[in-house]
Structure 1
Amino acid sequence: MIESNSRIVIAGAGSIGCYAGGCLAAAGKAVTLLVRPRMVKLLQQEGLKIIDPDGAEKLIELEQFSLTSDPEIAFRQADIILVTVKSGATEEMAELIAGCAPSKVIVVSLQNGVGNAETLRQHLPPEAPVISGMVPFNVVQSEPEVTPLNVRRTMPGTILIDDTLDGLAEALSVPGLAIKAHPNMQSILWGKLLMNLNNALNALSNLPLVKQLADRKWRLLLADQMSEALKVMRAHGITPAKVQGAPPAVLPWILRLPNFLFRLAAHKMLAINPHARSSMWEDFSRGRATEIDYLQGVIVRLADEKNIAAQLTLKVFACVKQAEGKPIRSHSVEEIRAMKV
């Protein structure tokens, strides 16, 4: 039984983490945000504002949640830890949890990629339940100088988590943060990875998602990438599950439709906030390392194992690696397709 007053820690409270933590705190849950020192100062000024897809705003006052940059303080009395760090920081976060948290703490991965839960399990005590999760929406964070800090959810969707722990989804599901249990999370994670192949294209295009998806040249690039990925997954016996909208096998066909037919077939895909951009675009804009190794990088590695050509995926991977840490700029589809690898 999961207690309603369980102490919840958001481990790595960036955009997704602050949004999830804000929703939980607004619902009266006992929430601690583990953040970088600069974020402590920012949140201490005027609290946290969460913005729903319909534009509704809610200010979460500082007294409604706890805040620290010290893992020992954050984890020592935690009942549930929601891990929201980038995939590259999973191992480091797992070691911090193992060193500071109770041995039976419940750990939920709300991260991109397909291997984070396994990484967490490798470093945590065997009695600590590790739960895979999938967040189907993105969140845009305001610029560092904006106060209060704004985290804007740009699309609808229900978070899915493993069904291995009775009552966990119900305990975490609050207004603005719907969570449901699912019996086959690994297939869901592969389906999400397929969708997340657009993260890199959105970052490279430097366009809002709705504008990028409205451009057939970008959609064709995404469709070709997805076709490569589906071929690689089939060769490895991987069956991605539908995350939202159409089944994975149908997505490339829909993306290749002429604009007027695409608008009819994918109106829900285009019904997103005009502010929406991918998390990788946010990484580009802030000069941070991206998660490309855990998205396109996974497909490239699996393709190599089966000697399957995945040249376009490799080109996108190379373009992102080349762009990391540099001033953000707009790439063209032609530039990406012509990339030498």
Structure 2
Amino acid sequence: MSGQRAKSLRIVIAGAGSIGCFCGGLWAAAGHSVTLLGRGRILLPIAQHGLLLTDYAGLEQQVEARQLRCSEDPAVLAEADLVVVAVKSNGTAAMGRLIAQYAPPDAPVLSFQNAVTNVEMLRQMLPGRDLRAAMVPFNVVPTGPAVPPEPTETPGAAGAASAQPGYHRASSGEILIAKGRGHLGRFLSVPGLPVGETEDITGVQWGKLLINLNNALNALSGLPLMTQLQSRHWRRLMADQMAEALRVMQAAGLRPVSTTPLPVWMTPHILRLPNWAFTRIAAQMLTIDPTARSSMAQDLMQGRITEVDALQGEIQRLGQAHGVATPVCDVVIQLIRQAEMKKAGLPKLQPGQI
């Protein structure tokens, strides 16, 4: 990243889904040159109508179509000062190959992905590059009209949505990236989107994975996150799953860093408290839209393969490697796989069925 371009970056969002479009839209609104690289069925309405970005705290940011570039051509990576990888875990390898082929060797690459293995895969594919993990604490859901279902459409084709698409941030938190050259956190921090840097991104990622384990439970419940958190029965199951994962991490010598004000070891105890005590102590956990659901719930609702293998599956693999049983994660993986195969939306299970 050259000095003269540091204040206004050319950012390519590699895999523009909900997180990528939300962050990319705010960066574009703040003056960065942003290209959304993704599927035409998502990009077509944006190219025609722009974006409306909102959040739980009252943010309302209009981003005009002319402020964003939308493309399905990976050759746009060649123009990047910075690449932000925002594909799901099962798309990491394919995107890594495209970055290796097209992106400038001196362009930093940030992984805005869930799980902890994506960066290692990218690092193997992109040796010698400034590659950094990031932790995105909030979830984002699409709003406005549904995108066209066919994946073959390109900008300019027929079938665009008739109204402006949008993305809504449903929970709170600051993005953290691994500390490195160039003060990237400073340049990526824009109104509505604070970005910090940390010396221990690995610990932060494992801490986020602990929280993300609830993605699957939320999907299985069929409940909004707020409703699920208000149920002590669901919180107890969340606590059992987190305690299981903490035992595995301890056996593996891992030290997760909390992504909330609560220490990671205390969180299972807080989750098991009666409702009145939980509500007082864990107020930040409840800073969330009442209708928000996890990204895994969104995947099941849309008939997509989930990231359960990169979340519960990672705990399961670590447990097997270190001789620690993972009965909760084992059952959750099985139930999510069944739901994926059925393609019938959210299972709407009760805690006792898990």
Does TM-score exceed 0.5, indicating one fold? Answer: yes
TM-superposition CA deviations, 1:110-162 (whole Å, max 9, x none): 11001211111111141x20011000111111251563111100122110001
What is the alpha-carbon distance in structure 2 between the residues aligned to residue 56 and residue 300 of structure 1? 39
* CA contact 1:50–1:57 (8 Å) conserved in 2: yes
Q: Which runs of 5 or more structure 2 residues have no equivalent in the other structure?
A: 148-160
Q: Alignment partner for residue 337 of structure 2, among 310, 316, 321?
A: 321
What is the alpha-carbon distance in structure 1 between the residues aligned to residue 293 and residue 240 of structure 2? 21
Query: Which residue of 1 is the match for residue 350 of structure 2?
Result: 332
Query: Which residue of 2 is the match for residue 108 of structure 1?
Result: 110
Q: Alignment partner for residue 125 of structure 2, among 123, 126, 140?
A: 123
What is the alpha-carbon distance in structure 1 between the residues aligned to residue 130 and residue 264 of structure 2? 30
What is the alpha-carbon distance in structure 2 between the residues aligned to residue 63 and residue 313 of structure 1? 46
Query: Which residue of 2 is the match for residue 208 of structure 1?
Result: 224
Give 1:55 deviation, angstroms.
Answer: 2.6
Query: Which residue of 2 is the match for residue 6 of structure 1?
Result: 9
- SS in structure 2 opposite 1:160? strand
Amino acid at match of 1:328: G
* CA contact 2:47–2:69 (8 Å) conserved in 1: no
TM-superposition CA deviations, 1:170-208 (whole Å, max 9, x none): 111111110011000000000000000100011111111
What is the alpha-carbon distance in structure 2 between the residues aligned to residue 275 and residue 173 of structure 1? 27
Query: Which residue of 2 is the match for residue 220 of structure 1?
Result: 236
Cα root mean square deviation, aligned: 1.3
TM-superposition CA deviations, 1:59-107 (whole Å, max 9, x none): 11110111101111x2011110011111111111010111111122210
Query: Which residue of 2 is the match for residue 136 of structure 1?
Result: 137
* CA contact 2:47–2:68 (8 Å) conserved in 1: no
What is the alpha-carbon distance in structure 1 between the residues aligned to residue 315 and residue 59 of structure 2? 38
Aligned pair count?
A: 334
What is the alpha-carbon distance in structure 2 between the residues aligned to residue 256 and residue 125 of structure 1? 44
Percent identity of equivalent pairs: 46
What is the alpha-carbon distance in structure 2 between the residues aligned to residue 16 and residue 40 of structure 1? 14
* CA contact 2:213–2:242 (8 Å) conserved in 1: yes
Query: Which residue of 2 is the match for residue 240 of structure 1?
Result: 256
Give 1:53 deviation, angstroms.
Answer: 2.3
What is the alpha-carbon distance in structure 2 between the residues aligned to residue 14 and residue 55 of structure 1? 22
Amino acid at match of 1:85: V
What is the alpha-carbon distance in structure 2 between the residues aligned to residue 184 and residue 137 of structure 1? 19
Query: Which residue of 2 is the match for residue 272 of structure 1?
Result: 288
Greater Cα offset, 176-185 or 304-313: 304-313
TM-superposition CA deviations, 1:29-74 (whole Å, max 9, x none): 10000120111222123111110221331111110111101111x2
Give 1:6 deviation, angstroms.
Answer: 2.0
Q: Alignment partner for residue 68 of structure 2, among 65, 72, 76?
A: 65
Query: Which residue of 1 is the match for residue 198 of structure 2?
Result: 182
What is the alpha-carbon distance in structure 1 between the residues aligned to residue 77 and residue 316 of structure 2? 36
What is the alpha-carbon distance in structure 1 between the residues aligned to residue 250 and residue 328 of structure 2? 18
